[in-house]
Structure 1
């Protein structure tokens, strides 16, 4: 009976994950370097630089999203005012947009005919255009990362006990200590889970980068270029495997350390 229940899940995993991954992995051996193509991301300067830029940008997007959403999420949970629901809805609105729409919105904001360029041209007689480089991509990734983080942070903030903060203040703890020792530990589950999803999404996002420019040197765009323009299937396959493996390893590490932290906290509380 149990096998019958899990069979649909096993079929889906095999059809949409295991079999495609196995086929991609096998295509690596078709290249002129054979299985050594797996190491091309470390031996080729362009591919390695693309990997570093992807990692740095994803980490930066994650950090900014956690800081912004940590502050905004806590404020929205702790305060009731007119327009609060509207602000929450606007912060979660990007969930309904695909990456191509987000890229188009960045172009409308910071492209050659964008709002920022028009304002800077009127004020300083010079257009500020940054939609088509890594800065524009950073803004786009941050835009669609905010909803993923804000919802998790607000869910964690609702579980915070205000009496713990009052107790800390009554004992003379300054504001920064209350934030460090009471608020942040309470928000940590939401921050860790949403931060991991944010990082993984930024590592593999493609639609926004494709909409802004095809020469933005992040790993998903390099994979696309190698596959479509250069017909270098083996290298594209090896880069895909490397990107997937690194993202999976990061998520697995986050789950492991988050689980260990939770066990330690539970034992401490007991």
Structure 2
């Protein structure tokens, strides 16, 4: 009997810290947010949020922007990641270091870099003024925010693609080539399906990170209406705590839904490639 209870105690001791962190930093704050957002009228409060044109426009714009960033990131990162994982060339490590360097930058720094590139005194504007006579400024728009999100999303996905590509079974590719398949067909029919679970997971993380990104949006927030900025405005300028909490829950639910969908698709991809 003693031998059976001793491992159980160890299991409880090992799980307890994780449960404490989960309770303190997720469950209790989420419960407080739900209670605050309900404001005594749960259904009426969320009905008002979901039928408010400004809030829903902000949500839709945020989802579309993050989806576009995720798609562009996957295309660019898959191309670069496969090249870096499978080709040895002089300066390869330096290139990998430079591509992953933005992981060290907070969102505010990324936003400032976008301003230096495409702001009113930015490099792109100066070059455009010199060659076309018109200054191009897009740092303070959705295009600028897209560039900023893309900048800090690419390194995360490149690292994932390189890790997945290093574990691929090259014998399958050799077999496809021996049967006369072109490099393009090998990539489409062998490489990409094998990378699919990793790409789905990386895309979901990329989308979730962009959905909640605040620092870059705050730095560039002149004409940008995305949900994190809407939540910030309601909290700081209007002191509308119930709306702030409700919009935070909506943002979390949408992000959780995408992550759940990606998890199911990732499982389906694994089954399909098995």
For the aligned pair, the TM-score class normalised by the smaller chain equals over 0.9
For 2:175 and 2:38, the matched residues in 1 are separated by 63
Aligned to 2:3: none
State the alpha-carbon separation in 2 of the partners of residues 34 and 69 from structure 1: 42
Retained in 2: the 8 A contact 1:156–1:189?
no
Contact 1:28–1:35 under 8 Å retained in 2: no
Q: For the residues of structure 2 that align with 1:151 and 1:223, how far apart are their CA atoms?
A: 31
Aligned residue for 1:141?
149
C-alpha contact 1:214 1:221 (8 A) present in aligned 2: no
Q: Name the counterpart of 1:88.
A: 96
Alpha-carbon contact 1:40-1:235 (below 8 Å) kept: no
Aligned length: 265
* TM-score (ref. length: structure 2): 0.92
CA distance in 1, matches of 2:265, 2:42: 36
CA distance in structure 2 between the partners assigned to 1:101 and 1:179 by the alignment: 36
Aligned pairs for 1:20-169 (under 5 A) are 20-30=29-39, 35-169=43-177
The residue that corresponds to 1:10 in the other structure is 19
**What do you get for the CA RMSD once the two structures are aligned?**
1.5
Question: Is 1:218 paired with 2:208?
Answer: no
Aligned-residue offset at 1:34 = 5.4
Q: Is 2:179 the counterpart of 1:171? A: yes
Structure 2: where are the runs of 5+ without partners?
1-8
Residue 194 (structure 2) aligns with: 186
Q: Alpha-carbon deviations, 1:173-218, whole Å to 9, x = none?
A: 2333211111101221221111110000011100000011254111
Partner SS state of residue 172, structure 1: coil
Which residue does the alignment assign to 1:246?
254
Residues 121-153 of structure 1: per-residue CA shift (max 9 Å, x gap): 111111100000110000000000011100000
SS at 2:55's partner residue?
helix
- Contact 2:200/2:265 (CA < 8 Å) preserved in 1? no
Cα distance in 1 for partners of 2:138, 2:49 equals: 28
Could you tell me how far apart the structure 2 residues matched to 1:127 and 1:64 are?
A: 26
1:79 Cα deviation (Å)?
1.2
Compute the displacement of 1:39 (Å). 2.7
